[in-house]
Amino acid sequence: MRADRLVSLVLLLRQRGRMTADQLAGALEVSTRTVLRDIDALSVAGVPVYAERGRHGGFALLPGFRTELTGLNDDEALALLTAGRGDGAFGLGGQLVSAMRKVVDALPEAQRPSLDDASSRLLIEPERDLLSRRRAPEELADGVMTVVRRAVLAGRRLRFRHARPGEEPKVHAVDPVGLVTVRGRSYLLALKGDEDRTYRLSRMLSAEVLADPAQRPRQTDLERIWAERGAAFLSESRLAVTVRVRGDRRDELLDHARVVRSAEDETDGWVRLEVDFEDLRHAVWAVWQLDTGAEALAPESLRSALRARAVAVAERHAEAVDPRRS
């Protein structure tokens, strides 16, 4: 960890020039005291970093201290820099920023200004769309991504608590095969015994790496596996639902749908969706969460179940509360 921070400190000084200890501390997310210790360590190691006193002082490197990355053409460098402006998949956003800082520093000096301008003109997945709707971020329990990623890469079995919508949490022990991220959602592909399993990481409440090695194929083709599981998923018998959803609540429903078969924008700011749910109970639970922000159109069994629930809730609240019950 400290070695990586020392490299990042040198690269910051290379790219930004003179910086104060407070500025370095902010960029590296450490204390000023830690920065000063790191500066001393670099000096002892022979890195030509020096301090300038005064109002506009700070720390800087002697001119010419750098290495260059050769063999990288403009399009290759642009691809890397553009990727570096994204969020970073699998919980590696911070590492992506650090890696891109190293790439920029290693590029030939004549190449850097034009590439920086070019990459600033390409934007990947902004937080909001043209209708100012926010892209709903995936919320993961603390540490889950790190633990799952470690199990996948180390080839160890994984145990975790997982809660599907409307159900009690269950404990699973699996052999992890790989991680897939699609449209901001992360999935674990795993084997449970002889069965293929797919789990949403946002539904994991906790996770731990086990000591036992994972029983899985030595070679894997995640692209093929993902396509096969997607095809199998679509072919399974599930409850097909047609529903109208207010545009700003669309993602809330899609978070709980098993399959999205079609989506069509309507003129009043609503969206008509054809989606699949596990069963009637799952569909009632998902649509009910959106209160008046959604209307189930089909099947009639879903409309009837929602209507019956609404009537029961209305009757429950129709009379004033007896003070003796409060």
CA distance 121 to 81: 11
Do 245 and 290 touch, CB atoms closer than 8 A?
yes
* Residue pLDDT, tens place only, 146-174: 899 899 988 999 999 999 877 899 999 99
pLDDT at 189: 93
Which residue has tokens 């699998």?
90
CB 209 within 8 A of CB 150: yes
Classified by CATH at the fold level, domain 2-61 comes out as Arc Repressor Mutant, subunit A (1.10.10)
The CATH number of domain 239-316 is 1.20.120:
no
Res 66: pLDDT: 59
pLDDT reported for residue 105: 67
What is the predicted pLDDT for the residue at 300? 95
Give the span between the Cα atoms of 186 and 178, in whole angstroms: 11
Residue ranges of the chain with per-residue pLDDT less than 70: 1-3, 64-112, 114-137, 234-237, 320-326
Q: Which CATH class is domain 144-235?
A: mainly beta
Task: Show me where the domains of the chain are located.
Answer: 2-61, 74-119, 144-235, 239-316
Full-model pTM: 0.51
pLDDT tens digit sequence for 99-147:
666 666 666 666 667 666 666 665 656 666 655 556 666 788 888 998 9
What is residue 157's predicted lDDT score, i.e. its pLDDT? 96
